[in-house]
Amino acid sequence: MERLRHRALLSFIARRGRDLSPLLILTHDHPDPDAIASAWALAHLLERLAGVRSRIVYGGIIGRMENQLLVRLLRIPLSPVKPQDFERYRRVAVVDTQPPFQNNRLPARHRPAIILDHHRRNPRTHAECAIIDPAAGATTTLLVEALQAARAPIPPRLATALVYGIISETQHLGREAGPRDVAAYRACFPRASIAALSKIQNPPRPPSFFHVLERAIRHAFTAGRVIGVHLGPVPSQDIVAHMADFLLTHEQMRWSIVTGRYDGRLFISLRTRNPRAEAGRLLWRLLGRTTRAGGHSMIAGGSIEVGAEASEAAWRAAERELAAAFLRSQGRREPLALHHPFQPAVREGRR
- Residue ranges of E strands in 4-155: 23-26, 54-58, 78-80, 91-95, 114-117, 129-132
Segments of the chain with pLDDT less than 50:
346-351
Q: What is the pLDDT of residue 346?
A: 45
Q: State residue 293's pLDDT score.
A: 72
Cα–Cα distance for residue pair 51/138, rounded to 1 Å:
26
What does the pLDDT read at residue 337?
A: 86
- pTM to 2 decimal places: 0.89
Measured CA to CA, the distance from residue 185 to residue 173 in angstroms comes to 9
**54 strand-pairing partners:** 23
Residue 23, Cβ density class (10 Å: 0-12 exposed, 13-18 middle, ≥19 buried):
buried
Query: In this predicted structure, what is the pLDDT of residue 290?
Result: 52
Q: Give the chain's domains with CATH numbers.
A: 2-201 (3.90.1640.10), 207-329 (3.10.310.30)
